[in-house]
Amino acid sequence: MPEFKYRKSSYSNEKAECVEVATNTPTTIAIRDSKHPTGPSLHLHPTTWTVFQTALFKGQL
């Protein structure tokens, strides 16, 4: 399994309600809760991540 390098989402707030995203591997986008860094993470194909982001930005989710 690749080593993911997480960064906080620019949409995270000051109350520690943060999502972290790792985009450093070409085949997997990893997403986790910053409050539980050793907990489970969601792994998506980059195309799926792009579709998700597009839907968010368009207000479809």
Q: Where are the chain's structural domains?
A: 6-57
pLDDT digit string, tens, across residues 15-42: 667 889 999 999 999 999 988 989 999 9
pTM of the model: 0.79
Locate all alpha helices (DSSP H) within the chain, ordered by sequence: 46-57
Least Cα distance to 28 among 11, 46, 12 occurs for: 46
Of the candidate ranges 1-15, 19-33, 47-61, the one whose mean pLDDT is the lowest: 1-15
Please state, in angstroms and rounded to a whole number, the distance separating the CA atoms of residues 31 and 17: 13
Please state, in angstroms and rounded to a whole number, the distance separating the CA atoms of residues 29 and 41: 10
Please state, in angstroms and rounded to a whole number, the distance separating the CA atoms of residues 17 and 1: 27
